[in-house]
Structure formats: structure tokens, C-alpha cells
Structure 1
């Protein structure tokens, strides 16, 4: 984000801060009712923001909402996505439920971001759809062990069933020798979303998509690493390649 002009950079930092805070609510170890109440307070803060009232947690958005026409429904979608993790631990969701989750926790963030970046509306929405899902699916594949440790399993039930894996207990699913078969179609879906995102970015002015370009170029190679590593236990965590990230910044970040 530091490569952006100051106004856009500061707006993106506010988006990141908001997402980090509501994500912390979803991932905290407190009682579910208390976490749901806290998410509802964020909904109240969003309502206050769009009524032009200052709130401590959302006050930094008064300028960005005005300057970049950020949409209320995208903030609310992010909160709704976090609520999905609070109501009950997500385990082997249907493909439709997983797609809804990705839209809320990732693509909605993208819809806020592309307005700040300056991507035209229709292409911005499409880019958010594809890049948001590509990044989130990559995160899901990378973080399967960390998610299982807190009782969550985001691999879709259709892919698990096709691989002959029954049930939704995270530990049992991750111990299956067929886990790689269940993950393979999710890798393919993420690759296709990256491809679609690149197609959209290719037709945009370079300056408006330099940040999403860097994100895509940093994350996409993780799919290759995950596929090469495989999913048999024990699984070494796949990490972002910092040299590749620096290369992406040099290639796309300088306009």
C-alpha cells in the first residue's frame, strides 16, 4: 500500500485497520454472544458513519467515504462474513456457502479497494470478484492446519466427497491420504480466478491496478508451492516469497 499516493494510501490503511479489527473479533476466544454483540456495534458504527456522525472506530473513514464513494453495503458485507465465523465454526461448507464467505470477507474488501485505486465501476466489481476469491482460496489452502487447530475447515464438502472423504472433523479430514485430491480442484479454481483477474487488469491503466497487480503476483506463486509440496502430513507451511514480492513491486509499483 505504501506505493500509493498519500490520500489513497491513507484510505487503504483505514480499510486494512477496519478489516483487522473485525477479523480479530471473529477469531477471538470470547463467548460467541459477546462477539456477535461486538460485530453489531460495528454495524452501528457504520450506520453512524453514513449518517455523517463521528465514531471513534470509524471516524477515519469520513474523508475516504466522501472522496472515493465507498459503499455502505461493502462494509456491512465484511461484518456479515466475520459473523459467519462467529455463529458457528465453518466446517466443510457447500461450494455456494464457501463462495458467499469469500465474497464477504475478501471480494467486499476488494470492492472498497478498487474505488480507492480508481478502477472503473464494472471492471472494478469484476476484479474484486475474481482477485478476492483467488486470494481467499489461496489463504484457505495455505492455512488448513492453522484453521483446523481452531476447529475450522473451509474445504468444500463437494470436493471432499469427490475425493472419498466423509465427515467434517478437521483433524480427520486433514489426516486423510486423499486430502490432496480434495484440494486440487480448489487450486484450479484459485488459478482460474487469478487468470480472470489478470485479464481485467491488462485492460486498465497501469497506475490504477499497480497495487492489485502486486498482490496477485505475490500470491499466485503460492499455489505452485502448495501443489509441489503436496498435502500429506506433516505439511511445512508455505510462505510468501519476499524476493518475488520485491520483484513484483519493482515491476508494477513504479509508474
Structure 2
């Protein structure tokens, strides 16, 4: 293989990573980064998107588990110095930003929680583990790319990851129920007298707003802790996570303003607000 071919292949993979992120809110937040950091974040996003697509597919659970097991083998091969062709650009980024094998594998662990069976009313401890794997582990990869000190970076990943994932759960209650999933914690359901774990039954309950209120409180505390960490770090290292935090915080505010009683209309951060967040935290 020629050096030119190597370069073309690397460029093609970088473009594919970027394309996978382009429809998302993540894209705008990462576009402001310097080129090397931007490309690394698109690689991380592409990895997460691909394993998430496996977990969320309508294929049999056993097949999804096999596909995720193959992803695990592929990541192990990358760290063993034998990357498969579709991950040929991983070693350079991993070395450049000291990305940890355990964090990639933790993301796969989280996806396997969805792939093994449809999650329904996990206890708080299981829900927190899920949030750590599918969100905070991504944050731990990301903070190395941002250049944050490890202690504050891990703490930011812990809090912001959980804040974003809890916001997702609150936003997607009905969408998740439509595919047989229910991420609301069982302790919160029991507290308001809901004993069913059937997503259709739970989401129709008039007590749902009280269940959601407890998650809103948790999410807001995580946002508070995340912003405190970002406030004490250089602005250049927290631009991207600040934008993500403000964007998802706006979603949470819209959810609270709408309420959680059925019927729940979808919420969306309007274009003007998105632009204002980007301008304020990326450029001003």
C-alpha cells in the first residue's frame, strides 16, 4: 500500500466520522475545535453512533450481542497493535490523546445492557451504571481530547455525562416506550404507587410527572456540579462541553416548562437559542 493510499484512506475515514455527526447538535459544538481535536471527537462520536445503532436495531437480541462482541474484539485488537481495516485510523488518535481502552469498552458494556434485553425500570444503581457507561465513559474519552487536567476531566465526565443522559431519558420517555424500553427507576415508580414495569402502562400513569420530577432534580444537580468544574478551568478547554451543557440544559428547561403529563409534545431548542449558545460560548 502506498503512502498516498494511506493518506487517502485516512482522509476518507475522517470524512466518514464527520458525516456521521453532521445532523446532530454534537456537530456544531465540535466544529469549533482545532482540527486535530475536532477529528478525534468525530472519531469518538462515530464509534458511539455505530455501537448505539447496533444496540437500537430491531435485529434479534442475540444478533445484537454478537455484533457488539465483535466490536469488543475489534477494540481489543486496536490496543494490541492489530487494528482491523475499519478502525485503521484509531491508533494514531488513541496515541495522540491517550484515550483509554477501558472507556471504549465501557461504552460497549452500556450498549450491551440495551442489546441483552429491553431495559425496564432499572433500580437507581443500575440506571447510574448505565449512565456511566453510555455517557460518562464518552466524556472520559472526550476530556482527554479537550486537554483538561485528568482529575477535573474525569469529574466533569461524571457529572455532565449523567446530566445529559438523564435529560435524554426525560425527553425520550414515549419514544423509548414505543420500542419496549423504560429507563425510569423503579424506586421512583414505587414511591408514587406505580407497580407495573410495562412501558405503556407507566407512561400513561397520571403519576408520571412526580417520577420525572425526581430525575429533573438529579439532572440539575449534575449540571450544577459540571458547570462549577468548567468555571474553574481555562475557557479554551471547556468550550465544547459548555455548549453541550447549555444546549441540553435548555432542553431540560423546555421539558419542565411543558410538563410530563400525557400527552407529551416533543420539545426542540429553537434555532435562535442554538445560535445564541454557540456565539456566547464559542466566540464571545
Q: TM-score, normalised by structure 2?
A: 0.88
Corresponding residue SS for 1:253: helix
In the TM superposition, what is the alpha-carbon distance from 1:166 to its structure 2 partner? 1.2
- 1:17 alignment counterpart: 46
* 1:146-188 deviation line (CA, Å, top 9, x unaligned): 0000000000001111111111000000110110001001001
Shift of 1:61: 1.4
The answer (yes or no) to whether the contact 1:218–1:241 under 8 Å persists in 2 is no
The aligned residue for residue 130 of structure 2 is 101
Mapped pair 1:183 → 2:202: no
Shift in Å, 1:58:
2.0
Aligned residues: 255
How far off its partner does 1:54 sit? 2.7
CA distance in 2, matches of 1:31, 1:70: 32
Q: Is the 8 A contact 1:94 1:157 kept in 2?
A: yes
Pairing 1:207-226 to 2, within 5 Å after superposition: 207-226=236-255
**Gapped runs of 5+ residues in structure 2?**
1-29
Deviations 1:199-237 (A, max 9, x none): 000000000000000000111022221112111221101
Distance 1:242 1:161 in 2: 39
Indicate the residue corresponding to 1:146 in structure 2.
Answer: 175
- Which of residues 190, 214, 218 in structure 2 aligns to 1:161? 190
Candidates 59, 67, 72, aligned match of 1:38: 67
Counterpart of 2:231 in structure 1 is 202
Q: Is this contact kept in 2: 1:217–1:245, CA < 8 A?
A: no
Q: Which runs of at least 4 in structure 1 moved beyond 4 Å after TM superposition?
A: none
Shift of 1:57: 2.9
In the alignment, structure 1 segments of 5+ residues that lack a partner are none
Alpha-carbon deviation of 1:241? 3.1
Deviation at 1:60, TM superposition (A): 2.1
1:235 corresponds to: 264
RMSD: 0.9
Which residue of structure 1 aligns with residue 117 of structure 2?
88
Match of 1:29 in 2: 58
Q: Which 10-residue stretch deviates more, 126-135 or 35-44? A: 35-44
**Hey, what's the Cα distance between the residues in 2 that align with 1:6 and 1:195?**
30
1:64 aligned partner:
93
Assess if the C-alpha contact under 8 Å between 1:45 and 1:57 holds in 2.
no
TM-score by length of 1: 0.98
| Deviation of the 1:34 alpha carbon | 1.1
Other structure's SS at 1:57 match: helix
Alpha-carbon shift at residue 242 of structure 1 (Å): 2.7
1:34 and 1:127 map into 2 onto residues whose CA distance is 35
Deviation of 1:59 after TM superposition, in Å, equals: 1.9
